[in-house]
Amino acid sequence: MSVDTARAITVSELSTQPDARVTERRRRPSFTPYFLIIPSVAILVIAMGYPLVWQIVTSTQHFGLAQQFGQPAPFVWFDNYIKLAADPYMWTVILRSLAFCFVTAAVTMALGTLVALLMNVVNRVIRIVIQISLLLAWAMPVVAAMTVWNWLFDWRRGVVNWILTSIGLPFQDHNWLQDPISFFFVAMIIVVWMSVPFVAFSVYAGLTQVSGEVLEAAQMDGATASQRFFAIIVPIIRPVLGIVLLLQVIWDLRVFTQIKLLQDAGSIASETNLLGTYIYQLGTGSSDFGMASAVSIFVLVLTVAISAFYVRNMLKEDES
């Protein structure tokens, strides 16, 4: 295999012109790439194929607990989707999820980029200190992290309230999870805390590609810090920013574990549901699997729609 691979690499890399590559391919159709993707495709088809098909089919059925226990599931075709579209609560959850997703992703990107820039200007020791603390935060398993955060924000014994009260603010016995806005504020802090390390490391990696000489030259020419950042640094790290932002949006739109575990700690569930917890509540809670599947498919479509622009750009770059 590796011999074959090596030859294939050589062939494709030697022909530097895209046109030449195409002719190359036409002249010698190779089955090698297909063999190479077989394992990945196979595992995806096995583990994702059936569930995906099941979900699509179920979303067009009335599928409740009785169906799960063997009753035939009657097809209702698009009824589930129509009901969803007509349900104001669904729209509330969608808007809430989108708002949470965009705000959280934006804050994460901004902070992550700032931390990356910071890592670039501080000395080695401090950089390593920052890196280790980011790594520790990154390495925290979600369940463990959520337990700690719930404990930090505990209304009666939480350190956060204690600190705020100590500096004279009226936060004694303040309940952070009771009010939806402050619930999402806490949720955002937690998600940002967990996601910034990945963004910071990726952007930092991108920054090492920025040449110091160019920046110095720009500074000589009188470019301000923000001009240098937006005119020189951003274009160079744009590919990194693009993929990282895309991933943040995808992950934040389907955020589930953090919200679910926060809801377990407090808050009124219907006022704090996002798409992930709503699907979970429909499926696991109410055993309304038809509807839960319909919402899942809808989320998939929504995510694809949001990311379509980025994906197209990325594919273009990928082709070039």
Partner 1 sequence: MKRKLATVTAVALASALALAACSSGSGTTTGTGASTDGKGKTITLWLAGADTPDVLRTYLKDEFKKETGGTLNIQQQDWGDLVTKLTTSLPDANNTPDVTEMGNTQSPTFTNVGAFLDISDMYKQLGGTNLLQSFVDAGKVGDKNYTLPYYFGSRYMFIRKDIWATAGVAVPTTLDEFNSAVATIGAKNPAGVANFSGFYLGGQDWRDGISWIFANGGDIATVKNGKWTASLDSANSLKGLEQLQAIYKTASKAPNDAKDSNQYIYLNDDDAIPGATTADAATPVSLAAATIMAPGWAHWSIGTKGEKDGKVTRTWDDKTFGVFALPGVDGKPAPVFAGGSNIGISAKSKNPGLAKTLLTIIFSKTYQEMLGKNGLGPANSQYVSSLGSDEFAKALIASASNSKLTPAAPGWASVEASNVLEEFFSKIKDAPDLAALAKEYDAKITPMLNAK
Partner 2 sequence: MSSIIRTPRVRASRVAYGVIGVVVALVWIFPVYWMANSALLPNVVLQSKTPVFLPFGGSFDNFAAVFQGGTFFPALGMSVIIALVVVAFCLFFAFLAALAISRFRFRGRKSFVLAILFIQMLPAEGLFIAQYKLMASVNLLNTVLGVSIIYIAAVVPFTIWMLRGFVAGIPAELEEAAMMDGLSRTQAFLRITFPLLAPGLVASGVYAFLQAWNEFTVALVVLQANADQTLPLWLRGFIRASASKAIDWGQVMAASTLVALPVIIFFLFVQGRMTSGLVSGAVKG
Residues 290-319 that bind partner 1 (CB under 8 A): 291
Distance CA 103, CA 101 (A): 6
Which one among 98, 107, 180, 242 touches partner 2, defined by CB under 8 A? 242
- Using the rule CB under 8 A, is 256 a contact of partner 1? no
- Using the rule CB under 8 A, is 25 a contact of partner 2? yes
Distance CA 164, CA 175 (A): 13
- Using the rule CB under 8 A, is 20 a contact of partner 2? no
Judged by beta carbon, residue 62 or residue 254, the one nearer partner 2 is 254
Q: Smallest distance from the beta carbon of 147 to partner 1, in angstroms? A: 15
Judged by beta carbon, residue 98 or residue 215, the one nearer partner 2 is 215
- Using the rule CB under 8 A, is 135 a contact of partner 1? no
**Positions in 39-98 near partner 2 (CB under 8 A):** 39-41, 43-44, 46-48, 50-52, 54-55, 58, 68
Q: Smallest distance from the beta carbon of 46 to partner 1, in angstroms? A: 19
| Closest residue by Cα to residue 54 from 283, 302, 262 | 283
Which one among 159, 169, 231, 234 touches partner 2, defined by CB under 8 A? 159
| Closest residue by Cα to residue 304 from 260, 246, 262 | 246
Distance CA 70, CA 73 (A): 9
Q: Smallest distance from the beta carbon of 102 to partner 2, in angstroms? A: 16
- Using the rule CB under 8 A, is 143 a contact of partner 1? no
Residues in CB range of 205: below 8 A, 6 or more apart: 240
Distance CA 118, CA 96 (A): 32
Q: Which stretch binds partner 2 (CB under 8 A): 76-84, 98-106, 145-153, 175-183?
A: 145-153
Instruction: Return the one option of partner 1, partner 2, none that residue 269 interacts with (CB less than 5 to 8 A, by type).
Output: partner 1
Which one among 73, 76, 98, 207 touches partner 2, defined by CB under 8 A? 207
Q: How many CA atoms lie within 13 A of 60 on its CB side?
A: 7
Q: Smallest distance from the beta carbon of 168 to partner 1, in angstroms? A: 16
**Positions in 76-95 near partner 1 (CB under 8 A):** 76, 79, 83-84, 86-87, 89-90
Which one among 66, 82, 268, 304 touches partner 2, defined by CB under 8 A? 304
Q: Give start and end residues of each alpha helix (H) in the chain.
A: 2-14, 18-27, 32-44, 50-58, 65-68, 79-86, 88-121, 124-139, 142-152, 159-166, 180-207, 212-220, 225-228, 234-253, 257-265, 269-272, 275-280, 289-319
Q: Smallest distance from the beta carbon of 177 to partner 1, in angstroms? A: 6
75 phi and psi angles, rounded to 5 deg: -75, 130
First vs last Cα of the chain: how many Å apart?
27
Grouping H, G, I as helix, E, B as strand and the rest as coil, residue 87 is: coil
Q: Which residues pair with 61 in a beta bridge?
A: 75
Burial of 259 (0-12, 13-18, 19+ CB in 10 A): buried
Asked if residues 261 and 146 have their Cβ atoms less than 8 Å apart, the reply is yes
Which one among 16, 69, 305, 318 touches partner 1, defined by CB under 8 A? 69
**Positions in 23-62 near partner 1 (CB under 8 A):** 62
Which one among 170, 212, 221, 226 touches partner 2, defined by CB under 8 A? 212
Binding site for partner 1 (CB under 8 A): 62, 64-66, 68-71, 74, 76, 79, 83-84, 86-87, 89-90, 155-156, 172-173, 175, 177-178, 264, 266-271, 281, 284-288, 291
